[in-house]
Amino acid sequence: MSKSQNISTAAAQPVLEMRAVTVSAMRDASFVVVDHVDWTVAPGEFWVVGGPQHSGKTDLMFVAAGVLPPAAGSCKLFGLETRSFSEAELPKRLRVGYVAEGGQIFNRMTVAENIALPLRYHKNLASADAAPEVKALLELMELSPLADVTPAHVPANWRHRAALARALIMKPDLLLLDNPLSGLAPRHQSWWIHFLDQLGRGHEFFGGRPMTIAATAEDFRPWRKAPRQFAALHDRQFIPLGTWQQVESCDDPGVRELLGPALELVT
Amino acid sequence: MPRELYAEPVQGRLAKAFGFTDTQVFRRAPVPKTYSDFLGRKLFLFFLTVQGLAAFSLITLGVILRKLTAAPNLMHPRIRQEISRAGVAMLPMFIFLALALGFLVIGQAVAALAAFGATNYLGSTMDIVIVRELGPLLAAMVVLARVGTVHVIELGTARALGEVEALEALGIDPVHYLVMPRVIGMALGVFALTVYLIIGSLASGYLFAFLQNVPLTPRTYFNEIVQALGWLDFVLLALKTVAFGFFIAVVTCYHGLAQPLRLEDVSRVAVRAVTQGVIVCVLIDALFILLYLVAS
């Protein structure tokens, strides 16, 4: 196979591919939260998966990130079955960035140490060697004043942002976000949407390469302004919906629930 | 509660519980109505815990052997930090314990032996009581109580808050990052503290005997002890204390990390981990008594 054929095959390969996936709950493997998920995320796409609380958004994202194996079916990240992830496939695994709901940044470290952790672990860097890259990212995310503060003293809005910085430090190709706008003040929500759109288009900090993004949400409306792909979790089913126009025209009551009273954002 | 209501969820999850050795499923179930059910559940929990601990020990050992040199710039400071926590930071407490042990036990034993003219037995008595048994076991218990509980609470809270999943999502092996430094730190910590405890208590024991006017020169006292010690004592002392440290760390990390926890479970799990840590230490001690008997 020629080099150009190789490149075109790699370009056509989905970033994330789920086939007949059954997702069970993280805390109780016998409880199925979403069944028969067929989901393909192509490079450069921006997906928003909506669902009410306890609809399985977090567990779906855990499966997508390769943290939780699917109870059944096949889940592939960059063409590699997540079930078979081993040390040898770590470079592929590191092409995925994951931001948990609430951030889950480590309480015993400062914000800067949290952000530096993946870099130091995977590239074996001393604290001083990782510092320039961490400092640049802290400035980009407007987190510099909080660099030496532990999470207990950081407001929730900024903790979320620190978690995003930690996920981005390894410059991933796929960014998975679990309910990123949950609990954020409107000003921060609008910062997140704007920043994620920049990442989706290709941010200069990350070499101008468009990032593939998949986020979960309890409300579709904050995400309506830019072209994105939408899907919904309802009654343990994964329902691909398409564009915003298709979401608006959808009659499914579970989807209509995700279009509740409007929340006006400062944009 | 009717029996069927507790039996259904428990029986429905037996296979899963075997698969994940998730004892929480059983612990959260209502208390059984009959003694036979109660004993059966306890027995089942015991085997699940043994299975889980054995698997976790092997996983930890495998990770230590494979990844000891991985990411040294990050991991070596963490290992040093754990050695400091389970060893250096405990030194003032162990100096106090060595003095107390010397005054309360050894000094009185030396005085009693001298009163009966049985100073010939002094060396072998000190060897068995302090070097083989009391020193290592006391050191292990104190480290378990002071550092082991901290492990369970730290790791249990991290697990309950989703920090462990966050580590996995970052491609960081939680056993390598969280367990390995604690295991190495505790194994070396218990070993070093035991040596200090033995030396300190033997020295303070003589001091107490001297204050009681026991007719025993320091030369005679320490000669008796040195003559009673053989190479086997040193080898088995090292192995035993490292084994204590390793298994205390494994038991406490297993309870904090290996099972899905809620925040309200953490205190209960800490108590359980300390209890099982004590049992494991006593079992290891019994195993080493057998080794002494076989080897000597």
How far does the CA of residue A251 sit from the closest CA of chain B (Å)?
36
Task: Answer yes or no: is A266 within a domain.
Answer: no
A73 and A36 in a common domain: yes
One DSSP character per residue, A103-145 reads: B---TTS-HHHHHHHHHHHHHT--HHHHHHHHHHHHHHTT-GG
Q: How far is CA B188 from CA B95, B96, B109, B240, B245, in A?
A: 18, 20, 30, 11, 7
Model confidence pLDDT, tens digit, residues B71-122: 999 999 999 999 999 999 999 999 999 999 888 888 788 888 888 887 777 7
Mutate to test the interface with A, among B20, B74, B159 (most CBs of A within 10 A): B74
Q: Do B166 and A100 touch (CB under 8 A)?
A: yes
Answer yes or no: is pLDDT of B152 > 70: yes
Residue B31 contacts A, CB cutoff 8 Å: no
pLDDT score recorded for residue A238: 92
pLDDT score recorded for residue B7: 36
Task: Answer yes or no: is A47 within a domain.
Answer: yes
Return the percentage of chain B with pLDDT > 70, whole number.
Answer: 90
A179 and A90 in a common domain: yes
Task: Answer yes or no: is A53 within a domain.
Answer: yes
Answer yes or no: is pLDDT of B283 > 90: yes
How far does the CA of residue B177 sit from the closest CA of chain A (Å)?
9
A161 and A111 in a common domain: yes
pLDDT score recorded for residue B17: 37
- Three-class secondary structure of residue A23 per DSSP: strand
pLDDT score recorded for residue B257: 87
* Whether the Cβ atoms of residue A227 and residue A216 lie closer than 8 Å to each other: no
A143 and A81 in a common domain: no
Which structural domain range is residue A236 located in?
12-95+175-261
Out of A29-33, A67-71, A210-214, the most confident range is A210-214
Model confidence pLDDT, tens digit, residues A170-182: 999 999 999 999 8
Q: How far apart are CA A220 and CA B111, in angstroms?
A: 83
The whole-number average pLDDT for the span A151-169 is 93
Task: Answer yes or no: is A267 within a domain.
Answer: no
How far does the CA of residue B260 sit from the closest CA of chain A (Å)?
6
What are B213's two structure tokens?
A: 């006017």
Contacting residues of A for B171, CB less than 8 Å apart: 90, 93-94, 118, 121-122
CA angle at A16 for the pair A10 and A17, rounded to the nearest 5°: 100
Q: Do B169 and A100 touch (CB under 8 A)?
A: yes
One DSSP character per residue, A29-51 reads: TTSEEEEEEEEEE-TT-EEEEE-
pTM of the model: 0.84
- According to DSSP, the β-strands at A229-234 and A72-77 are unpaired
Q: Which parts of chain A fold into alpha helices (H)?
A: 3-12, 57-65, 90-93, 111-123, 127-140, 156-168, 186-201, 244-248, 253-257
Answer yes or no: is pLDDT of B277 > 90: yes
Answer yes or no: is pLDDT of A5 > 60: no
Answer yes or no: is pLDDT of B145 > 90: yes
pLDDT score recorded for residue A20: 93
Nearest CA in chain A to B157: A107
A143 and A45 in a common domain: no
- Domain harbouring A190, CATH code: 3.40.50.300
Contacting residues of B for A106, CB less than 8 Å apart: 158, 163, 166
pLDDT score recorded for residue B23: 63
pLDDT score recorded for residue A161: 94
Q: How far apart are CA A48 and CA A46, in angstroms?
A: 7
A202 and A158 in a common domain: no
How far does the CA of residue B5 sit from the closest CA of chain A (Å)?
17
Task: Answer yes or no: is A6 within a domain.
Answer: no
Number of domains in chain A: 2
Give me the interface pTM, i.e. the ipTM.
0.84
A74 and A120 in a common domain: no
Mutate to test the interface with B, among A121, A122, A127 (most CBs of B within 10 A): A121
A78 and A36 in a common domain: yes
Q: Do A120 and B73 touch (CB under 8 A)?
A: yes
Task: Answer yes or no: is A226 within a domain.
Answer: yes
Q: Which of residues 174-213 of A touch B (CB under 8 A)?
A: none
Answer yes or no: is pLDDT of B274 > 60: yes
- Three-class secondary structure of residue B293 per DSSP: helix
How far does the CA of residue A125 sit from the closest CA of chain B (Å)?
6
Residue B161 contacts A, CB cutoff 8 Å: yes
Contacting residues of A for B169, CB less than 8 Å apart: 62, 65, 67, 96, 98, 100
Residue A160 contacts B, CB cutoff 8 Å: no
pLDDT score recorded for residue B262: 83
Q: Do B166 and A107 touch (CB under 8 A)?
A: no
Q: Per residue in B200-232, is it b (16+ CB within 10 Å) or e — as a string?
A: bbbbbbbbbbeeeebebeeeebeebbeebbeee
Answer yes or no: is pLDDT of A193 > 80: yes
pLDDT score recorded for residue A2: 43
Closest CA to B284 of B190, B155, B150: B190
A149 and A182 in a common domain: no
A198 and A150 in a common domain: no
When the pLDDT of each residue in chain A is averaged and rounded to a whole number, the result is 87
Mutate to test the interface with A, among B154, B164, B170 (most CBs of A within 10 A): B170
Q: How far apart are CA B201 and CA B206, in angstroms?
A: 9
pLDDT score recorded for residue B28: 65
Tell which of A128, A152, A171 closes a domain: A171
pLDDT score recorded for residue B22: 59
Q: At residue B2, what are phi and psi to the nearest 5 degrees?
A: -60, 150
pLDDT score recorded for residue B24: 62
* Whether the Cβ atoms of residue A254 and residue A74 lie closer than 8 Å to each other: no
Cβ neighbours of residue A220 under 8 Å, at least 6 residues apart? A48, A50, A230, A244, A247, A258, A259
Task: Answer yes or no: is A141 within a domain.
Answer: yes
More confident residue, A233 or A26: A233
A147 and A19 in a common domain: no
pLDDT score recorded for residue A258: 77
Answer yes or no: is pLDDT of A149 > 60: yes
Q: Do A67 and B168 touch (CB under 8 A)?
A: yes
More confident residue, B38 or B167: B167
Tokens 């998949």 found at: A214
Inter-chain Cβ pairs, chain A and chain B, closer than 8 A: 72
The whole-number average pLDDT for the span A3-10 is 44
Tell which of A171, A200, A224 closes a domain: A171
- Which helix (H) or strand (E) covers residue B209, if one does? helix B180-211
Tell which of A124, A147, A171 closes a domain: A171
The whole-number average pLDDT for the span A129-140 is 95
Q: Do B166 and A106 touch (CB under 8 A)?
A: yes
The whole-number average pLDDT for the span B116-143 is 86
A200 and A154 in a common domain: no
Answer yes or no: is pLDDT of B212 > 90: no
Answer yes or no: is pLDDT of B162 > 50: yes
Nearest CA in chain A to B170: A118
pLDDT score recorded for residue B286: 94
Task: Answer yes or no: is A247 within a domain.
Answer: yes
